[in-house]
């Protein structure tokens, strides 16, 4: 998907503020693959020697032009750029980046030419369950608008619009991708003027913000501990090819990583700046963010020594972000502790944090499915099973707690059982 994630501060954040952020990708549907699934450094190709690697879906002229654009940026920066800058260019360069050109990203099967499938496209019950939490939040905050970041194919928007009906007066999609906007407009035409598109946030807004897999697409900085010393891992050129290059840095992970072994990981200033920006702009309402990731004590576990960065193409996974730039997705898991602190520091109150499985079950995703067709029940199991999306994906929610609109302390439906806020 593509959504616009305005940042709060810093040159890197300002560079990204004009770029679209995607938030899609989920589970596999009879062979399809959700983003976030798979071991970093591994590959579905390696696991299945008979699988033919996916062919390029982006015209060579576009990938070549993007590579040339990035080479110019590296040269202009003196021969080295940080990885978050590289990732922003690879994904969001206007007209050239992965999320800025017209190739198909979302689809149920590899044969469709897609790279991953989203949870709303696996089952409409995903959006219907989420709508119950959105409805409660709209009522509790006395607001009437939904803001969706990175609406992808428009599947989730359609499900929320259908389920919420007259409870929402306006549905605003924040998305800079022209090709995705065109698909969304076609899919959502039945709702007419209720649906609007914007390319940047207003100075003030009210309502419930929804982001399904937005945070994982925000550029991350890479940190590498080598022989006990910390470096920032960036990108340089070697004989015209992109290579990783390290520079000494004062940056550190938010937790000290036990041990003295070499260690590669990510930090997430862009995602945290995005949440702070939402807090600054949102005058009344709530925020619901769904993504794959961990609390920081799991994220920076000593055994997670290769980080979480991964790429997705043709429903397969690889760990080489420097190859086939512009032709595949690049993502990193989310540090939900950092997201929670960013929201709290900016004035939001954490409503809850739990697994996607527990959230959807709390919202009644399985109600009335006893007699559903087998294929529908299989797709639902992908949403809630621990070995599929149920455990790896998490949901975090915030509410505005301003003096003029004090938080009433309402219990959010999706976190009524199994809230894990205490683990952040």
**Nearest CA-CA partner of 141 in 318, 284, 349:** 284
Q: How confident is the model at residue 12 (pLDDT cuts 50, 70, 90)?
A: very low
What 3-state class would DSSP assign to 381?
Answer: helix
pLDDT in tens, 165-205: 999 999 999 987 777 888 899 999 999 999 999 988 899 99
Beta bridge partners of 209: 147, 287
Lowest mean pLDDT among 106-110, 259-263, 350-354: 106-110
Greater model confidence, 45 or 420: 420
For residue 18, the 8-state DSSP code is T
Greater model confidence, 148 or 46: 148
Is 54's pLDDT higher than 70? no
Structure tokens at 331: 């993502």
Residues of the chain above pLDDT 70, percent: 81
Structure tokens at 319: 């760990």
Is 337's pLDDT higher than 70? yes
Is 30's pLDDT higher than 70? no
Is 326's pLDDT higher than 70? yes
63: which residues sit within 8 A by CB, 6+ positions away? 56, 324, 325, 326, 327
Is 38's pLDDT higher than 60? no
Lowest mean pLDDT among 39-43, 113-117, 284-288: 39-43
Which residue segments constitute the domains of the chain, with CATH numbers given?
Answer: 3-423 (3.40.50.12710)
Greater model confidence, 2 or 352: 352
Is 215's pLDDT higher than 50? yes
Write the DSSP assignment of 345-356 as a string of letters.
HTTEEEEEEEEH
Is 61's pLDDT higher than 90? no
Lowest mean pLDDT among 128-142, 226-240, 274-288, 392-406: 392-406
Quick one: pLDDT at residue 109? 58
Interval 7-16 mean pLDDT: 35
Structure tokens at 180: 């995705």
Lowest mean pLDDT among 285-294, 312-321, 343-352, 393-402: 312-321
How crowded is residue 300: how many other Cβ atoms within 10 Å of its Cβ? 22
Is 410's pLDDT higher than 90? no
Average pLDDT of every residue of the chain: 85
* 380 alpha-carbon distance from chain centroid: 21
Lowest mean pLDDT among 34-43, 251-260, 284-293, 329-338: 34-43
pLDDT in tens, 72-100: 999 999 999 999 999 999 999 998 998 88
Is 402's pLDDT higher than 50? yes
What global pTM score does this model have?
Answer: 0.86
Structure tokens at 67: 């590579």
H or E segment and range at residue 274: helix 269-281
CA 7/CA 17 separation, integer angstroms: 5
Is 15's pLDDT higher than 90? no
Quick one: pLDDT at residue 371? 83
Is 352's pLDDT higher than 70? yes
**Nearest CA-CA partner of 389 in 3, 38, 23, 108:** 38
Lowest mean pLDDT among 17-31, 56-70, 132-146: 17-31
Quick one: pLDDT at residue 4? 39
| CB 208, CB 284: distance < 8 Å | no
CA 93/CA 101 separation, integer angstroms: 9
Q: How confident is the model at residue 406 (pLDDT cuts 50, 70, 90)?
A: low
Quick one: pLDDT at residue 317? 84
CA 321/CA 233 separation, integer angstroms: 13
């Amino acid at each position: 998907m593509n959504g616009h994630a305005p940042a709060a501060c810093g040159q890197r954040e300002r560079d990204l503020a004009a770029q679209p952020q995607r938030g899609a990708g989920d589970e596999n549907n009879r062979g399809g693959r959700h983003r976030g699934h798979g071991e970093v450094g591994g590959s579905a190709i390696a696991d299945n020697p008979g699988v033919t690697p996916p062919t390029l879906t982006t015209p060579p002229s576009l990938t070549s032009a993007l590579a040339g654009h990035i080479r110019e940026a590296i040269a202009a920066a003196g021969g080295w750029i940080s990885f978050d800058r590289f990732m922003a260019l690879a994904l969001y360069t206007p007209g050239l980046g992965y999320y800025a050109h017209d190739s198909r990203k979302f689809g149920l099967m590899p044969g469709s030419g897609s790279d991953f499938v989203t949870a709303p496209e696996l089952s409409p019950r995903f959006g219907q369950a989420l709508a119950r939490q959105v409805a409660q939040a709209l009522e509790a905050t006395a607001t009437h608008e939904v803001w969706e970041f990175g609406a992808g194919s428009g599947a989730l928007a359609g499900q929320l619009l259908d389920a919420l009906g007259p409870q929402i007066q306006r549905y605003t999609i924040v998305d800079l991708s022209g090709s995705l906007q065109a698909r969304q407009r076609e899919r959502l035409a039945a709702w007419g003027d209720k649906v609007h598109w914007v390319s940047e946030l207003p100075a003030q807004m009210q309502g419930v913000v929804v982001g399904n897999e937005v945070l994982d697409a925000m550029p991350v900085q890479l940190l590498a501990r080598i022989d006990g010393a910390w470096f920032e891992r960036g990108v340089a050129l070697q004989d015209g090819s992109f290579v990783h290059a390290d520079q000494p840095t004062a940056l550190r992970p938010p937790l000290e990583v036990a041990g003295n072994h070499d260690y590669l990981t990510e930090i997430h200033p862009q995602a945290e700046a995005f949440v702070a920006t939402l807090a600054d702009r949102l005058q009344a309402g709530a925020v619901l963010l769904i993504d794959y990731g961990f609390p920081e004590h799991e994220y920076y576990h000593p055994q997670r020594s290769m980080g979480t960065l991964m790429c997705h193409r043709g429903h397969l996974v690889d760990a080489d972000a420097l190859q086939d730039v512009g032709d595949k997705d690049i993502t990193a898991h989310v540090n939900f502790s950092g997201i929670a602190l960013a929201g709290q520091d900016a004035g939001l109150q954490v409503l809850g944090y739990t697994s996607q499985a527990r959230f959807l079950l709390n919202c009644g995703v399985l109600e009335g499915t006893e007699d559903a067709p087998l294929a529908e029940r299989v797709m639902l199991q992908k949403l809630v099973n621990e070995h599929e999306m149920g455990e790896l994906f998490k949901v975090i929610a915030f509410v505005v707690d301003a003096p003029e609109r004090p938080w009433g302390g309402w219990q959010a439906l999706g976190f009524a059982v199994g809230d894990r806020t205490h683990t952040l």
